[in-house]
Chain A
Amino acid sequence: MQLRTEPFVLNIGPVHPSTHGVFRMRATLDGEVVVDLEPVFGYLHRGIEKLAEERTYSGVIPLTDRLDYVASITNNLAYVLAVEKLAGITVPERAEYIRVITSEMQRIAAHLVSVGSFLNDAGAYFTPFLYMYRERENIVDLFDMLCGQRLLYSYMRIGGVSQDLPDEFLPALRKFIPHMRSRINEYDWLLKENEILLARAKGVGILPRETAISIGASGPVLRGCGVKWDLRKADPYSIYDRFEFDIPTGIQGDCYDRYRVRVEEMRQSLRILEQAVEQIPAGEIRGDVPQLVRPPAGEAYAHVEGPTGEVGFHVVSDGSIAPYRCHIRAPSLMNLTALKDMIVGWKVQDLILIFGSFAITMGEVDR
């Protein structure tokens, strides 16, 4: 038997503890059940694409940090790859290794934030969140050592990276890898088999495989649906073809699968890190690139597998020192396309959980 009540509209956000930034969902509720949902974007729109048109090619790098601010390295990398493709710049070997190492560290850090906030949305009162942040702190420390800041790294440069690894970096990283591995196992004990989490997240917010491909989902959201599509394997940029790792996939594309895919990806990232730390050669870290890059007129699209999905930069050059057009493919924005389909019919609590399982960053969605 279904009890019907008068539907009412609930504005979730823009200021709400679980919207991961300033996002607003206009939910129509029938009692506890969501019957309609309209996402409202734009509260964090800063016009980065427009700003990029007025800056030099290297001046855009600090802007890209501010897209997905929990994963600035991968944004940096995507942009830098696009400009390098456009200008035909080759990158020294050591710089490629450093890029891979930093990207994978960043992926672990970003996934820790995603998983932590997902579990926090599920209602595990801040404990897993703070555990994840405790581990993330180790990575942030390493980034601080590497480039002097803890969140907005601006580390990649056109033709390489900004600075070489300090002497104490690799020993600290070697120490970090086994530590992190044991901690991931520990946190799996914490909530992986928890009955309440299974009941809350399993089978909830299912994104069918076909829909996922159709909406252009990428990253853990796509892989959670069982699609084995990871740009590091499908279209290996940088030197990802030299490393051995697996692509974890989910089964049915529910919240739990997305959560598990993220955790497994952290393990795979640790594998890549281990290999990269062993193989990293000595040498130059930056190609011979002038301060003001002037790529020839043309356009290039480069993409990387960021923690949220495929981060792409479409850079159009007119031969001047500033990009003519710099389009950013924001994975979070695309992942949110099917938000309504997934949430309608579930309850308010599931709404929060499903939304949390996307692990979006509003800086990237609104740009």
Chain B
Amino acid sequence: MKFERYGIGIAKGLTVTMRNLLRRRITTQYPEQRLTVSRRTRGNELVWSKEKCTGCATCAKTCPQGVIHIVTSPGEENSYEVEEFEVDTGYCISCGLCVEACPYDALYMSYAFELARYRRGELVLSRNDMLIENKQASAYFRPEISETLPEQELLIDRKE
């Protein structure tokens, strides 16, 4: 603490904190105030379109964590019937590689992110839990639904 500058540095610092005292607070009080998240949000859940899925299991092969479980059986007209389709979201790292890999655009990341559960078992999603009819899909790798989602709220656009 050499006072060769006679405390000017300390005084400067005090003005900066005082200026910030008068600025707008940055905190968003989450459950009551919410910011709109990105359109490409990678929620910790998958959304699945039953119509588009052909049961090729590319997603299961791509998944680095190996949490996608898919069982198919040969159906009519040279196609596969998806019998089981399960995702253990407890082990999912939301990397989005499955969505990217899906050749038929049948898999989506979810737009929702508030997915805490009380039991681990409840984190395993079966095919009916993931149907696109019931869930909001995110625009991650699916730019076609980007416009249907609200625009992201950026902190930089906020007033000071």
Contact = CB atoms under 8 A, between A and B. Distances in A.
Interface of A: 55-56, 58-63, 127, 130-131, 134, 137-138, 141-142, 144-149, 152, 154, 162-163, 166, 168, 172, 175-176, 179, 186-187, 189-199, 291
A156 to B, nearest CB: 12
B1 A196 contact: yes
A144 B41 contact: yes
Interface of B: 1-3, 5, 7-10, 12-13, 15-17, 19-20, 26, 37-42, 58, 62-64, 93-97, 100-101, 109, 138, 140-141, 143, 146, 151-152, 154-157
B26 A61 contact: no
Contacts of A154: 95-97
Given A134-B26, A145-B152, A199-B1, A59 B97 contact: yes
Main secondary structure of the interface of A (DSSP, over half): helix
A142 B157 CA distance: 12
Contacts of A137: 26, 155
5 contacts: A144-B152, A163-B143, A172-B154, A179-B156, A194-B13
Contact of B93 (A62, A145, A163, A193): A62
A159 B138 CA distance: 24
A68 to B, nearest CB: 17
A127 B17 contact: yes
A179 B26 CA distance: 15
A61 B95 CA distance: 9
Contacts of B64: 55-56, 59-60, 62-63
A163 B140 CA distance: 8
A189 B156 contact: no
Contact of A198 (B9, B94, B154): B9
